[in-house]
Amino acid sequence: DARVTQTPRHKVTEMGQEVTMRCQPILGHNTVFWYRQTMMQGLELLAYFRNRAPLDDSGMPKDRFSAEMPDATLATLKIQPSEPRDSAVYFCASGLVRSSGAPGEQFFGPGTRLTVL
């Protein structure tokens, strides 16, 4: 059955290293979201794409984070350089935006648990 996939599931790295997280959205979905989840802050929206175009990345620290969709089957979130405060679970979600009315369901991937030492 169709689901969002994310790789890697776990990543441990040292401060200063580059981290790349990948997401394959569900085929046919036109929106992709990147979230970060921590106990303190909960689920925070980092970036939002519609039809592969970035619509909102105001939640993302621009100096070190970047999000791209090189094609419809791949979304990436990159952190360079990584810092210990970036340790969190990063979720990708995809969905279908309706032209009007309630937002559609977001289907979440299993997440990437990132630990920066």
Partner 1 sequence: TQLLEQSPQFLSIQEGENLTVYCNSSSVFSSLQWYRQEPGEGPVLLVTVVTGGEVKKLKRLTFQFGDARKDSSLHITAAQPGDTGLYLCAGAGRDDKIIFGKGTRLHILP
| Residue 25 interacting with partner 1 (CB under 8 A) | no
Q: Which of 93, 114, 116, 117 binds partner 1 (CB under 8 A)?
A: 93
Give the gyration radius of the chain's Cα atoms: 14
Q: Which residue has the tokens 């979230």?
A: 35
Tell the burial category of 13 from Cβ atoms under 10 Å away from its Cβ (0-12, 13-18, 19+): middle
**Contact window for partner 1 (CB under 8 A) among 12-20, 21-29, 38-46, 62-70:** 38-46
Residue of 69, 53, 73 whose CA lies nearest to 4:
73
Q: Cβ of residue 23: shortest distance to partner 1, in angstroms?
A: 11
| Contacting residues toward partner 1, per CB under 8 A | 4, 33, 35, 41-45, 48, 56, 91, 93, 97, 101-103, 105-106, 108-111
